[in-house]
Amino acid sequence: MLRAAFLSFCLLLAGWSLAQHEGHEGADAPDLADHSGKEKAEFNAGELIMGHIADEHGWHIAGDFSFPLPVIIYDTQRGLHVFSSARFEHGHAAYDGYMLHDGGIVAVDANGQVDEAATANIWDISITKNVASIFLIMVIMLLVFTSVARTYAKRAGKAPKGLQSLLEPLIIFVRDDVAKSAIGPKYMRFMPYLLTIFFVIFLANITGLIPIFPFGANLTGNIAITFTLAVFTFIVVTLNGNKNYWQHIFAMPGVPKWVLIILTPVEVLGVFLKPFVLMIRLFANMAAGHIIALSFFSLIFVFGATSAAVGYGVSVVSLAFTIFMTILDVLISFIQAYVFTFLSALYIGAALEEHHEHKESIV
């Protein structure tokens, strides 16, 4: 509810600012040229926000400085091409017949114009910012959990120490309050999967809040990432569903056959809606957090364009709300990792549930 209220507030202010700007353009037509004859670049809040939450082929660090990432293109007509994203000069230059356009790689002709036919032949498998962040999280998890496993081996039967004492409560929490309660006696089979998705989502959420290289990527705010995680849960549930689970989907026991004509399609649709809900819930919550924080920052420049004094005044409120939302996002990072893991465990538990016969006792 807080996220929805803040997001609505930011959208209303952004709409008001845009209307004011358009009104000034129509009425006064202010001169945007400075004394040197060059046009001043106007602040674009939408471009700033979308540029932050979207994936990119370079890792922006500060100002005009970005850490270049490998561009890997497979062109069905020209073969494989591998080069640095620095060749694109932040989207201002073409290289080897390719260039960045609206965040994606397109083919261009000799005049620098986009060639739609050639672009259709491109398979972009580059190491983007989000891909690099996934590798970073993988390395962090391998190092952390390898260290914890060694500590357990050396200190068997002793009190936890260091990283072990930090992670043990979380592992026990996932085991007892998520896996065991939702799945039942067979929960240990799925502990590796549930622990993996919990810590991957949690680390992705937390590192996304740190605006310092090599962190700050909006992983779980990218629907491709949440889609992939939801597909993993769908595969696990589908492969482990027992006879009773599939029978309840395609031919629910005790239901008249004419009702099954309506009920079976609904149940089949539910099989795909469950991972869809997982995907949208995680994506919407984490993307909204980044959008709200950046919206508050944008208000400083939007109001600053009307008056420097107003901009300074708004900056105090914007900074306070941004800090508040960041602190709230730390809590939400844990909650969303828990919710995704718990719902996955619930779906797995439903797929494993056995049919129970209820017999009347004879007295």
Report pLDDT digits (tens) over 105-137: 888 888 878 888 888 888 989 999 899 999 999
The rounded percent of the chain whose pLDDT value lies above 70 is 85
Q: What tokens appear for 218 in the block?
A: 């909006």
**Are 337 and 202 spatial neighbours (Cβ–Cβ below 8 Å)?**
yes
Is beta strand 58-62 parallel, antiparallel or unpaired with respect to 65-68?
antiparallel
Short-list 225, 232, 154, CA closest to 193: 232
Which residues in 236-269 are b (16+ Cβ under 10 Å) and which e? bbeebbeebbeebbeeeeeeeeeeeeebeeeeee
- Give 219-252 pLDDT, tens digit per residue: 898 899 999 999 999 999 999 988 888 888 888 7
Section 8-26 average pLDDT: 44
What is the signed CA dihedral for 264, 268, 273, 276, rounded to 10 degrees? -170
Reduce the DSSP state of residue 81 to 3 states and report it: strand
Spatial distance between the Cα atoms of 69 and 265, rounded to a whole number of angstroms: 46
Is the pLDDT reported for residue 199 higher than 90?
yes
Spatial distance between the Cα atoms of 35 and 40, rounded to a whole number of angstroms: 10
**Are 71 and 123 spatial neighbours (Cβ–Cβ below 8 Å)?**
no
Categorize the per-residue pLDDT at 21 as very low, low, confident or very high, splitting at 50, 70 and 90.
very low
Q: What is the pTM of this model?
A: 0.79
Neighbour-count burial of 110, counting CB atoms closer than 10 A to its CB (0-12 exposed, 13-18 middle, 19+ buried): exposed
